[in-house]
Amino acid sequence: MKTVVYALAVTLIFSACNKNNSDSSASTDVYLNTTQGSSWSYTQTDESGTNPPSNYTVTSSSKDTTINSRKYHVYDYSYGGSEYLGVDGHDYYQYDSIPVSGGINIERLFLKDNASAGTTWNQDFSLTIPGVPLPVPLTVSNRIAEKGIDKTVNGTTYSNVIHVSTSLSSGLIPSSSFSSSIDSYYAPKYGLIENTTVIHLDYLGLTEDINVKTELTSATLK
Of the listed ranges 9-13, 63-67, 96-100, 179-183, the least confidently predicted one is 9-13
User: Would you give the distance in Å from CA 127 to the centre of its chain?
Assistant: 18
Q: What is the mean pLDDT of residues 142-159?
A: 97
Query: What is the spatial distance between Cα 170 and Cα 110, in angstroms, rounded to a whole number?
Result: 19
Rounded mean pLDDT of the chain? Answer: 85
How far apart (Å, rounded) are the C-alpha atoms in residues 127 and 138? 7
Topology classification of domain 2-220? YmcC-like fold (2.40.360)
Q: What is the pLDDT of residue 7?
A: 57
Helix (H, G, I), strand (E, B) or coil at 135: coil
**Stated pTM of the model:** 0.87
Higher pLDDT, residue 64 or 174: 64
Q: Does 4 have pLDDT greater than 70?
A: no
- Which of the given ranges, 5-9, 136-140, 171-175, 190-194, has the highest pLDDT on average? 190-194
Q: Tell me what pLDDT residue 133 has.
A: 63
Does the structure show a pLDDT above 60 at 52? yes
Q: Which one, of 83, 100, 106, lies nearest residue 14 by Cα?
A: 83
- 103-112, 145-154, 198-207 — which one is most confidently predicted on average? 145-154
